[in-house]
Amino acid sequence: MLFRRRKVEEPQYDMEEMRQKLKETEFEKGDTLALIIAALVTIVPFLLVIVSVIIGIIWLIFLR
């Protein structure tokens, strides 16, 4: 075909190899706090949208 993409082979990682690398990785002092803050920044807005949609539906059905 005209716009055919070439397949790029991605390296295959073994789960045991990944676990070993994770065990060998040493985190710095503030890394845990940074990971927790990053998770909250990612999850909280999504949860706020879901909760506001549910509250909006309840308001439309029962309180209007």
Q: Is the pLDDT of residue 62 over 70?
A: yes
What pTM value is reported for the model? 0.55
| Calpha distance 27→35 (Å, rounded) | 11
Q: Is the pLDDT of residue 1 over 60?
A: no
Q: Report the pLDDT value the prediction gives residue 5, as an integer from 0 to 100.
A: 73
pLDDT tens track for 5-48? 777 776 777 888 888 988 888 888 889 899 999 999 999 999 99
Q: Report the pLDDT value the prediction gives residue 7, as an integer from 0 to 100.
A: 73
Q: Report the pLDDT value the prediction gives residue 52, as an integer from 0 to 100.
A: 98
For 40, phi then psi, to 5°, come to -65, -40
| Calpha distance 1→7 (Å, rounded) | 14
